[in-house]
Amino acid sequence: MQKLLIVLLFSVVFISGTNIVNAQYTNASKWPAGISYEIFVQSFCDSDGDGKGDIKGMTSKLDYLKDLGIEAVWLMPMNPSPSYHKYDVTDYYGIHPDYGTTADFKNFVNEAHRRNIKVVIDMVLNHCSNQHPWFVDAAKNEDSPYRDYFVWTHKDDPQVKVFVDKINEDSRNRNRWNKVEESDYLYYSYFGSHMPDLNYDSPKLREEIFKIGHYWLTKMGIDGFRLDAARHIFPEERAKESQAWWVYFLNEMQKIKKDVYLVGEVWAPFDQVAPYLKGIPALFNFDLASAIKKAVNEEQSDSLLIKQKKIEEYYTTVNPKFIDATFLTNHDQDRMMSSVDNNINKAKMGAALLLTLPGSPYLYYGEEIGMRGKEPDEYIREPFLWDDIKNDKNRTTWIKPLYNSDSTIEPLAKQLKDKNSLVNYYKSFIALRNNSKALTFGELTPIDLGKSELCAFQRNFEDENLLVIHNLSQTAINISLLESLKEYDMVIFETKGSNLKKNALHLASYSTLVLKK
């Protein structure tokens, strides 16, 4: 009877084998609380047939991103660089010629904004390329005006030997002091000799960095920056100075653009991440990403919700307005599908958790079509499959893929036609989230339903109160709704036929049920 009443009173939208019931289907989300999409430009879309993705290609796919429900894009580095990944910059004001021109990029930003999609670019400020003109000049000339842009020490400095010995005990066995030919000095680089660290003790360098930020925010019209390697601005023993630098940077950028968006990479446990929130209001939640993968692989909710609640409460004490940048995987990690041994049900549950838990979710390009990939990095950044190989004019060919081909995954064009495909599953959950203030902005209250296979929680905001229940297991579960939860008597979203009838919950294997008071 209850199900019948829902059908009579509310419109029903079927997507991807899910059932969304919503009286008023209007966008409740507002970025930066909305969903962002990470793009590796070189692998995304090739517009001119040279085998490499480019800015014009990205522009041609903005309608796809809009239809998916994306509200912002984060673009991996586009600056001139000698490497495929572009994290070793040779010109902070330029666009790599493989990707296009500044005019192409301005057009991309304009077209994105026309669709209400924000643009965030990767800003690599911890280091540059050893081929950057600054470093080339500084390395050959001790009197160079760029000498203090970098960190130097004399080869006879006794601290160098101590440092080298310490690093040799490190599992990565990386010596971070590097020789310069025909010189008695060494330069410091945290990530490899080809990427010398910049020296933030230099006032002149700081001013140069502010000019770079000003250029991209004003001349190019972007909305913010993703800050690479944010915890390595100064050595680890000077962490407080790194944190203070980002407060300084934020204040300077806000002078240029009041609502500038900064999201940072601080890959560390949450208690070490938290202090950076004063200068970088949005930080990626690596702890949650790991916890979600653990939960779906083990089919146990375990302490997932308790841990996330603890993180939220801790972050609030540092910055009450913090933005929790949540994600499943990114360009430095094995892809989600590979992390769950190519089990599409578990990949779906990972997406379901990400898109119903608090935070501002990031999707890594291709996750929505089930792209696979494991380290080394090139193979977690393989070409996006738009269509089958015979018809795909936009597929990049810069690398021969190991994991993603027509024989391993269905390309986007085919998936869009299949209501049960992974991309349509993503679309259904994105639509659910984007049209719910509770899922976008609401507080998290973990609920114990007495079964570890169930991940249940409340999301409440203003007058919208939701109960979300995920069955992470391969076995269907039938339980009675707790007495304290009986007010949740309306199904607004379900997958795989999960339902509520007369206080009895039926949760199909690997399914989600969302109830409303």
Distance (Å, rounded) from C-alpha 15 to C-alpha 263?
Answer: 32
Q: Does residue 425 contact residue 17 with C-beta atoms inside 8 Å? A: yes
CB 180 within 8 A of CB 187: yes
C-alpha distances out from residue 282 to 47, 230, 261, 305, Å: 33, 12, 8, 20
d(CA 449, CA 452): 8
How buried is residue 271: exposed, middle or buried, by Cβ count under 10 Å (0-12/13-18/19+)?
exposed
The two tokens of residue 357 are 């838990």
Q: Would you state the structure tokens that stand for residue 232, as one six-digit string? A: 């390595």
Q: Which residues contact 46 (CB under 8 A, 6 or more apart)?
A: 52, 53, 54, 57, 393, 394, 395, 396, 397
Active site residues: 228, 265
Structural element, H or E, at residue 316: helix 304-318
CA 400 to chain centroid = 25
Distance CA 411, CA 419 (A): 14
